[in-house]
Amino acid sequence: MFESVGRAIAIYLSEPIGKPGGGSVDAKLVADTLAPGDVLLVEGNTRMSAAIKYLTQSMWSHAALYVGPRAELSAAGGEEEATLIEADVLEGVRAVPLSRYKNFRVRICRPVNLTASDREELIRYVIERLGHQYDLKNVVDLARYLLRFPVPARLRRRLISFGSADPTRAICSTLIAQAFGAVRYPVLPIISRKNDGNPGRADQVRELWRIRHYSLYVPRDFDISPFFEVVKPRIVKAFDYQHAPWSEGNTIVMDDAAQTELLTVIPTDGASDVKL
């Protein structure tokens, strides 16, 4: 009974409630920029995404690990090659093609100075967990996303981690946090500072890092982490704003259209064109 109720809640939370905000032109740039080991943050459009955005006060509601083309994933994405590994509340840990998010706003977060051997171990960690399923009988984990009342800021992160004994199967970011923890790469460690105890060197302070429990991580943590570089595809290569292809006629866009939306502009007799 609990499993059937949990599945019904999961299906309800997975339903989209709006349109994605990205575009295919940006998707091509993202595909050309991604490197194995990168974390891809996604602005989701489901009910669960809306709840995560509220609880984390961030536009990023989903995270996936880019592993690149792998022989062991050749058939996982169907006709397309699967290059991302993510945790889904209905399907569990799965491999999907990058094109799944071609119409979504995304952000690339790249671990700095991650060694080749640790990168391979990181990728192997998530690949070995393919097929792990979320226990849908644990409706507590799922029902929390249906909350409509205000949640104090100090409790929001705790609310996300509350419930399941294995939240890796429920929240995408915890799977990735565990993988980075396996190679002891910091995401947002708890840093304490201590004096070395020498009275003559009172200004000497030593840092001690402790790993934050993986269940406390949310997608935006990879964005704000000082150990991950935010890679922006449009400027990662040579960028010269003086030769930007601005439209003719000083066109001004007055709506919140996608940045790469294809517009047909009809010039008017005025000094500038305004598209509403």
- Whether 259 is covered by a domain: the verdict is no
262 within domain boundaries: no
Average pLDDT on 197-204 reads: 62
| pLDDT exceeds 80 at position 1 | no
Residue in the structure block whose two tokens are 């304490």: 192
The two three-digit tokens of residue 123, written as one number: 């990728």
Closest CA to 71 of 58, 82, 59: 82
Instruction: Please indicate whether residue 6 or residue 109 has the higher confidence score (pLDDT).
Output: 109
Distance CA 152, CA 14 (A): 25
Lowest-confidence region among 87-96, 111-120, 152-161, 247-256: 152-161
Residue of 162, 171, 156, 165 lying closest to 86 (CA atoms): 171
What domain count does the chain have? 1
CA 54/CA 40 separation, integer angstroms:
20
Average pLDDT over residues 122-147: 76
Confidence of residue 23 (pLDDT cuts 50, 70, 90): confident
pLDDT at 135: 61
Residue 262 has pLDDT above 70, yes or no: no
Is the residue at 220 inside a domain? yes
The more confident residue out of 192 and 97 is 97
Query: What's the mean pLDDT in 155-170?
Result: 51
Dihedral of the alpha carbons of 10, 13, 15, 18, in degrees to the nearest 10: -160
Relative to beta strand 92-96, strand 252-253 is unpaired
Mean pLDDT, residues 100-121: 96
Measured between alpha carbons, how far is residue 77 from residues 5, 180, 266 in Å?
A: 29, 24, 42
Within-domain flag for 183:
yes
Residue 67 has pLDDT above 80, yes or no: yes
Mean of per-residue pLDDT scores for the chain: 79
In the predicted structure, residue 195 carries a pLDDT above the cut 90:
no
Residue 8 has pLDDT above 60, yes or no: yes
The Cα–Cα gap between 57 and 153 comes to 9
Q: Residue 182 — φ and ψ, nearest 5°?
A: -65, -25
215 or 84: which leads in pLDDT: 84
Do residues 159 and 151 touch, judged by C-beta distance below 8 A? yes
- 260 in a domain, yes or no? no
Q: Calculate the dihedral angle through the C-alpha atoms of 117, 207, 211, 88, rounding to the nearest 10 degrees.
A: -70
What's residue 12's pLDDT?
87
Compute the average pLDDT of residues 59-78: 85
Query: How many helices (H) and strands (E) in the chain?
Result: 9, 10
Residue 12: count other Cβ atoms within 10 Å of its Cβ.
14
Residue 266, pLDDT above cutoff 50:
no
- Provide the whole-model pTM: 0.79
Structural domain boundaries, residue 73: 2-241
In the prediction, which pLDDT does 227 show? 96
Residue 163: which CATH number? Answer: 3.90.1720.10
254 within domain boundaries:
no
Is 257 part of a structural domain of the chain?
no
Tokens of 163: 């419930």
Residue 263: is its pLDDT beyond 70?
no
Report the share of the chain in percent with pLDDT over 70.
Answer: 72
Q: Is the pLDDT of residue 170 over 50?
A: no
List, in sequence order, the alpha helices (H) in 14-161.
Answer: 24-33, 47-56, 116-127, 139-143, 153-161
Mean pLDDT value across residues 180-195: 87
Q: In the structure encoding, which two tokens stand for residue 215, read together?
A: 């269940």
**Does 265 map to a domain?**
no
d(CA 161, CA 55): 11
- What average pLDDT does the segment 66-70 reach? 96
Beta bridge partners of 106: 42
Element (H, E) at 229: strand 228-231
pLDDT value at residue 60? 94
